[in-house]
Every structure is written in structure tokens, then in C-alpha cells.
Amino acid sequence: MFTERVRTAPPRQLVAWHQLAAPLLLGAWALTLTGCEERPVAAVESSLPAVKVSRPLDKDIVEYAYYTGRLDAAQAVNVQARVTGYLVSIDFEPGTEVKAGQQLFLIDPRPYQAQLDVANSQIALAQAQLELANADLARARDVAKTPGAISKQELDRYAAAQREAEAQLEAAKANAESARLNVEFTRVLSPIDGRVSRNLLSIGNLVKQDTTLLTTVVSLNPIYAYFDVDEHTVLKVRRMIREGKLKVGSEDDAFPVELGLADEGNEYPHQGVVDFINNSIDPSTGTLQLRGEFANPKGPSGIRMFTPGMFVRIRLPLSEPYKSLVIPQAAIGTDQGLKYVLVVNDQDVVEYRPIELGPEQPGGMQAVIPIPMYATEHGLRPVEISPDGTPNVPAGTQTIPSIDANSRIIVSGLQRAKQGRKVQVTEVPIETDAPSTSPSPAAKTENKPQQTSVDSGDKPNADKAAPAEGSHDGKQGDAVNRPESP
């Protein structure tokens, strides 16, 4: 049997809905065409991401090496008694400054004074015996003038007695001097100028000669800063000295060193000189110990800034001043070890520019070294260096630096800037006297003071020219999206 399929007409309700939808669709299409009209330019610009840009500073800089160290006193003395006895007096305020020769403690002097009195009496007795021996010898010599009145042996006996009396007098004087010194040693004096610690014994305690520690005294001015320099820097400095790039070693031109305290940010306001270099490198750490000497005078209120044992930051200048571009560290981004900045061209479009880091500068600033680039049909590309040191660019290609003193570098609003996108620009000057802040992680890499050129041998990776998303190291918490590869 065959089943006949019968085509039925659509329901009346469906036909009614189709008839109603057609005008609605036509109206929506007309509204869409009306909305595609061009908006005012002011409205478009107001919707652009707002960023702040600054131009790099072209200034003289110095390459520095940074270390940490500890302060130590130039002189430190453990004060111990030189005689045994009971402590009867403490003659200083703990923690105050004392002068050399100032009395600190007093040990009971009476037993030693009695010994001194006995020694002085022995001197008087020996003096009387010497006078008698001198008189006997004089009389014997007068008698010897008469032949046969006195024998030669008797005369020699009187002469020996006189010399014996002289020796006994000298021995008595020596004993008296020893007793006098013991009496003097009962007064424990400060051997140096400096600050005294607390008294480690109280009055009435027994003090043993050359054993009991009473207190300590440390000198304050000048003060030493000890720090360890890595072997790489040692070799670098020695080569620079041999090549004449650093002049050190003479009395008139000592090697300078700068010091900053723990609360002084990135500033190093204290100037000193390196006065000691150890004679060997520590094989366990691969470092060489150096010592800087710094003045530590009293301030207007009588307070000295440095105290032995303080943690300090050390900065060693490793070059003569030279010109370099300087930008805020907050403007530097990082991408898998590569450093970059975002610049705005004359069309207000964001561009990615690779850089290398030079020496870190005070005030949150960073010296940067432009990377040579060349133009391609896809935009600027970093110059690649072949293994033999020649630039891998077409013959006759002109290279340009990635940034220069006129580049507009984004320093604020980095999280809103994307490569190839247009932005609303506000140019602000770089604050050279900005307060010190901690250096960004992007700036904590090996410094390279020499500017990169086509023949430098450095090889920027063109495949890694675009930074990863959120990889910016800005101090203001800025982050950028991953820009398209140029």
C-alpha cells in the first residue's frame, strides 16, 4: 500500500507573525544604517586610552657597582685590669663618649700603696748603705797612701762593698717603680677616644689581672666599612686601571667610595676612600674584601650618624663620566630577559622598542642603551649579529637607534597602551629630583656602559621582540597587554 503525503497550508498564526516581523526587520536595518554615520572627532579622541610620555634625559652618568657591608670601628679595645683587686669605683656613664686617659674604674689601691711604701723604704736603706760604703772606701784609700798600712786585699774588699751598695740601690729603685706601676694600674683608664660600653662588673667584685673583662671602648671617627667585591668586578677594575681608564693608587687621587645608610633609599650621600684591599680572594665565596674609610663627625646636636656594626650600602664608581640616555625605571618592561620601552610616534601610535640597560642611577632612574634597528616592510626590526660579529642586514641598509633623546616614552598609563593602537598623549617632564625608590626588577641586570652599535656583537632576538602579556616592571603597578609583534 502507498501512503499519500498531503502538503498542508501553514497555520494562520504563523503567517500573521511573518507579516508582522518583516516591517520590524526593515526598521532595525534603517536604524543600523543611521548609526553608521561618522561620529565627531572629539568624541573619538575622548575614547582613546590616555597615557603620559616623557623624553629621555641626555646627561653625564657614571657606572657604579653596588654592594652591602658593615661598619666597624677603626680601634676597638677590651678593657681589662692589669692588677688583681676589688672594684671600688666606676667613674663613667655607660654608653657615653670618653677621652683617652679618662679614668673608668678604680681597684682598691691600698695593698699596692703599702707595697710602694715598703719599696720606697728599701730605697732609703740602700741609699744609706751606699753612703757608708762610699765613706769606708774613701778612708781605706787614705790609709793606703801610707806604705804597709793596709793590704791590697782589704782595699779591694772596700771597693766591692761600695759597688754592691750601688747595685742594691738600683734594685730598690726598680722594685719601687714596679710598686708604683701597680698603684697606677689600680686606676683603669680608657686607652683611646671613643664610646664606652656598659660596666660588666659592679662595685665590690673581685677583678683578676689580665683576665677579667670590665668593658669595651670603640673609636668613632673615622669609621671603617668592610664589603666584599666579586671576582668579576675585581678583574674589570684591574683591566681598566691597566688601560688607564681609572686613575687610582696615588696619595692625591685615592679610589673613591660612596656609602648609604639603610634608611636613605637609593641615595649615597657619604663620601669616603678605599684604604685597604685584602691580599687574597676568599676561595669559598670568590670575593675580595675591601675597606672604605669615612669621616664620622658630630652633628649640630652632638650625634654621630655611624655606629660600628651598622648595615650599609656601598657604591663604587667604575668609570669616568660619559653621556647616556636616562629614563625612569618605571617605564622599563621585560620579556624573557629582554628589556623594552613603549614609545609614541608622531601619529600618536604606540610602538615597541627594545633597549639594553646601562648603570642604575639615583632617584629611580636608569641609564639605557638604544638597540640598532632597521626598517622592513613589517616595521622596524632589531639588527641581528652573525657569529663572526658582522651585522646580518641587507647591504646598504641604514640602521637607526631604537630610541633617542626625542623619543616620547610612555611613563604612565602603560596598562592601557597596546602596540599599534592610537593613544591620547600628555607630555610631562622627567622629575630628576624625584624621591628615591627601590629599583624595579627590570633594572637589576648586568650593566653595560658602552653603547650598542651594529658592530658590537650583541644579538637581539627578533623572534622575541614582542613582550609577554603583563610583563611590564613599572613601579606604579602598570601592566601592558602583549603588543603585536612589529
In the numeric block, which cell numbers belong to residue 480? 601592558
Is residue 373 within 8 A of residue 452, CB to CB? The reply is no
CA 70-73-75 angle, to 5 degrees, is 150
Q: Report the C-alpha gap between 384 and 221 in whole angstroms.
A: 55
Q: Report the C-alpha gap between 106 and 185 in whole angstroms.
A: 9
Q: Specify the higher pLDDT residue, 485 or 4.
A: 4
pLDDT score of 46: 62
Q: Specify the higher pLDDT residue, 447 or 396.
A: 396
Q: Report the C-alpha gap between 221 and 223 in whole angstroms.
A: 5
Give pLDDT tens digits for 193-213. 999 999 999 999 999 999 999
Across 283-321, the runs of DSSP E, i.e. the strands, are: 287-294, 311-317
Secondary structure of residue 43 in the 3-state scheme:
helix
Is the pLDDT confidence value at 190 over 60? Answer: yes
pLDDT score of 361: 79
Predicted confidence band at 466 (pLDDT cuts at 50, 70, 90)?
Answer: very low
Across 83-140, the runs of DSSP E, i.e. the strands, are: 85-90, 97-98, 103-107
**CA 188 centroid distance within chain:** 39
Is the pLDDT confidence value at 370 over 70? Answer: yes
Architecture label for domain 109-185:
Orthogonal Bundle (1.10)
Is the pLDDT confidence value at 187 over 60? Answer: yes
CB burial of 189-227 (b: ≥16 within 10 Å; e: otherwise) equals bbebbbbbeebebeeeeebeeeebebbbbbbbebbbbbb
In the numeric block, which cell numbers belong to residue 349? 601610535
Predicted confidence band at 59 (pLDDT cuts at 50, 70, 90)?
Answer: confident
Domain definitions of the chain by residue range: 50-58+324-464, 65-73+220-317, 82-106+188-217, 109-185
Is the pLDDT confidence value at 446 over 80? Answer: no
Among the listed ranges 65-74, 104-113, 143-152, 474-483, which one has the minimum average pLDDT value? 474-483
Predicted confidence band at 45 (pLDDT cuts at 50, 70, 90)?
Answer: low
* Number of residues that make up the chain: 486
Q: Report the C-alpha gap between 125 and 11 in whole angstroms.
A: 153
Give pLDDT tens digits for 272-327. 999 888 999 999 999 999 999 999 998 888 889 999 999 999 988 888 888 899 99
Output the CATH code of domain 65-73+220-317. 2.40.30.170
In the numeric block, which cell numbers belong to residue 106? 678604680
Looking at the chain, the whole-number percentage of residues with pLDDT higher than 70 is: 76
Is the pLDDT confidence value at 403 over 80? Answer: yes
Q: Specify the higher pLDDT residue, 119 or 35.
A: 119
Q: Specify the higher pLDDT residue, 442 or 244.
A: 244
| Sheet strand arrangement including 372-376 | 379-382, 372-376, 399-401
In the numeric block, which cell numbers belong to residue 422? 592610537
CATH fold label, 50-58+324-464: 2.40.420
Is the pLDDT confidence value at 120 over 70? Answer: yes
Mean pLDDT of the chain: 78
- Name the class of domain 82-106+188-217: mainly beta
pLDDT score of 25: 54
Neighbours of 422 (CB within 10 A): 16
Q: Specify the higher pLDDT residue, 237 or 386.
A: 237
pLDDT score of 317: 86
- Bridge-based pairing state of the strands 213-218 and 97-98: unpaired
Cα torsion 419, 423, 428, 433: sign: negative
Residue in this structure with the C-alpha cell 650583541, named with its chain if needed: 458
Is residue 364 within 8 A of residue 434, CB to CB? The reply is yes
pLDDT score of 38: 53
Q: Report the C-alpha gap between 247 and 34 in whole angstroms.
A: 77
pLDDT score of 68: 92
Predicted confidence band at 458 (pLDDT cuts at 50, 70, 90)?
Answer: very low
Among the listed ranges 98-107, 129-138, 209-218, which one has the minimum average pLDDT value? 129-138
| Identity at 110, one-letter amino acid code | R
Give pLDDT tens digits for 325-366. 999 988 898 888 889 999 998 888 998 899 998 888 777 888
What is the reported pTM? 0.63
Is the pLDDT confidence value at 431 over 60? Answer: yes
Helices (H) and strands (E) counted in the chain, each on its own, are 5, 26
Predicted confidence band at 442 (pLDDT cuts at 50, 70, 90)?
Answer: very low
Q: In terms of C-beta density within 10 A (0-12 exposed, 13-18 middle, 19 or more buried), how is residue 368 classed? A: buried
Asked whether this chain's domains 50-58+324-464 and 65-73+220-317 adopt the same fold, the reply is: no
Average pLDDT of the residues in 240-249: 75
In the numeric block, which cell numbers belong to residue 88? 671600688
Looking at the chain, the whole-number percentage of residues with pLDDT higher than 90 is: 34
